Every structure is written in C-alpha cells, then in structure tokens.
Amino acid sequence: MPSLLLPLSLIGLGLTLGVAGIYVGESDDAPGAALLGLVLMVGAFAYGLKLLRERRRIPH
C-alpha cells in the first residue's frame, strides 16, 4: 500500500494545482495562469499514472 502513496499524491497534487490555476486565470482574466494550471495538471496526472503503471508491472 505505501508504494501507491507517491503516484496517488502526485495525481491529487496535479489536480489541485490545475484547478487552482484555472480559478486564478478565470478570476483575474489571465489566460496564461489558466494555461499553466492545465499544463501542471496534465503533467502531474500523467507522471502519476506512469508511476502507477510501473509499480504494477514489477512484482514484489
């Protein structure tokens, strides 16, 4: 179970940063902040999924 902590926390952090970036971008009318939030969200989510897939392939 501890091996799932890092990938799941990265996915959660990515979603949180993405939502925060989109919120700041929409409230402040800064499209760059919304884009940065989306990029961070997609990157952290993809990296977390990659870590999950790698951990499932290697038997412990």
**Residue 25 falls within a domain, yes or no?**
yes
**Residue 19 falls within a domain, yes or no?**
yes
**Residue 1 falls within a domain, yes or no?**
no
**Residue 2 falls within a domain, yes or no?**
no
**Residue 34 falls within a domain, yes or no?**
yes
**Residue 53 falls within a domain, yes or no?**
yes
- Dist CA 14 CA 28 (whole Å): 21
Domain limits for position 32: 7-57
List the pLDDT tens digit at each of the 60 positions of the chain: 557 787 888 778 888 887 887 787 777 777 777 788 788 888 888 888 888 888 776 565
**Residue 16 falls within a domain, yes or no?**
yes
**Residue 50 falls within a domain, yes or no?**
yes
pLDDT of res. 10: 79
pLDDT of res. 51: 82
pLDDT of res. 60: 55
